[in-house]
Amino acid sequence: MCTTTSAPSVPEMATPADGGGHHVYVSLPQCTDGGDVEGGHCRPVVHQVKCRGGDDDGGGGGRGGGVVMPVAGETVREAAALCRLACPIALTALMLYSRSALSMLFLGSLGDLPLAAGSLAVAFANITGYSVLSGLSLGMDPLCSQAFGARQPRLLGLTLYRSVLFLLCCSLPLSALWLNMAKILLFLGQDRDITAMAQDYLLFSLPDLFSFSLIHPLRVYLRSQGITQPLAVAAAAAVVFHVPANYVLVGRLRLGAPGVAAAASASNFVLLAVLLAYVARRDEALREAGGPTAEWLAGWGPLARLAAPSCVSVCLEWWWYEVMILLCGLLPEPRPAVASMGVLMQTTALVYVFPSSLGFGAQARRAQALTSSAAVSGKADAAEGGGRWPEKGEHQEGEKRRHVALISSEEADPETAVVL
């Protein structure tokens, strides 16, 4: 095992005077069998480094002139680790999507008016609630991933607590919008019958603001550690509960569209209960963070600075689509138009499942790599270790295995790296 704590210096790379781009192949020692760099027990590995010419001085070998090109085996290992992280995320998203599709099926069985009212209520909830909470929760993603990569469980737990409180505070004004949805939609020219039933639907969905204020941070918190199985199990439990709940509330009790909303809210609490049960029993970071303290109310500045642009990005992505349902409500025959557009929204949402899951996995891997060389090397990362915290020795070995992981300081993301 490599025991030297300091990483060897990066070999010098000659750059031609003409400043043109070229490739340099550098032979570096890499520990693969527990050998020592200084003892000569590590095999040389050739890294392809692409150098860029044309720096500030006009030469070719200035600062930030080299970019490491990963070897083929390393690329395959990273792709496999990324798939192991992204596939359970995609499975979770598919199960949550199936729950929304089941809700649309039950609404459609009630007729055009309940289906149109449910579609309009979901569109309004997405615009004024779900998209906002989802976007704000992404602000904690780089904080959690870097805290896990830097082996700071206390900071990781504090970030979760702060994010939950932050989202709960943001949900208060959102609930005021939901309570006055009928007035807002009538002002926008929507149909009165559809709006009245949509208001009833949204009143039964109000608990979602509380549950999603905890679910979104918990999902980001676990995903940043490479823990994805509890998310899939919780989503499966919610789907299993969702079907009989709709059958009882809609088929037996005849609650109509509000019954569908109540069943969805109840299944969200099942999802939340499973996640809380896992975190309470097996999580180390929350034990390190301790009980409620004044620190939970501190440090909201960096969290808000990261959450604001994420929220804007998510909202813009969601709103342009959901606004189409509101525009359908202005047509001469709003019921079939709004109902059909609601079905179309649910169908096309399936397209976003796989690329978004891959993006979430890549984002977690990248943020961990900024602060953990062990995660960069692909040996002791979160995805391969099942959420295990990297040990100090693994950080040292990771430094030896990848001498040239970041040749240029420009590779680091200053907006996310500064928060730690």
pLDDT confidence of 348, banded at 50, 70, 90?
A: confident
What is each CA distance from 369 to 57, 147, 156, 226, in whole angstroms?
31, 11, 16, 13
Phi, psi (deg, nearest 5) at residue 134 = -65, -45
Provide the residue range defining the domain that includes 218.
85-362
Smallest CA-to-CA distance from 392 within 152, 81, 223 is with: 152
Domain assignment present for 7: no
Say what the pLDDT of residue 203 is. Answer: 96
Q: Tokens 């993603």 belong to which residue?
A: 141
Domain assignment present for 75: no
Give residue 370's identity as a one-letter amino acid code: L
Domain assignment present for 21: no
DSSP secondary structure, 311-340, as one string: HHHHHHHHHHHHHHHHHHTTSSSHHHHHHH
Does the pLDDT value for residue 180 go beyond 90?
yes
Computed on alpha carbons and rounded to an integer, the radius of gyration of the chain in Å comes to 25
Domain assignment present for 154: yes
Domain assignment present for 369: no
Residue-wise pLDDT for 203-253, tens only, equals 999 999 999 999 999 999 998 888 888 999 999 999 999 999 999 999 899
Residue-wise pLDDT for 45-94, tens only, equals 444 444 544 444 444 444 444 555 667 777 888 888 788 878 888 888 89
pLDDT confidence of 4, banded at 50, 70, 90?
A: very low
Domain assignment present for 256: yes
CB 302 within 8 A of CB 173: no
Does the pLDDT value for residue 359 go beyond 60?
yes
Domain assignment present for 24: no
| Domain count along the chain | 1
Domain assignment present for 73: no
Look up the pTM and report it.
0.71
CB 49 within 8 A of CB 67: yes
Which of 68-77, 187-196, 320-329 is the least confident region? 68-77
Q: How many other C-beta atoms lie within 10 A of the C-beta of residue 108?
A: 16
Does the pLDDT value for residue 40 go beyond 70?
no
pLDDT confidence of 367, banded at 50, 70, 90?
A: low
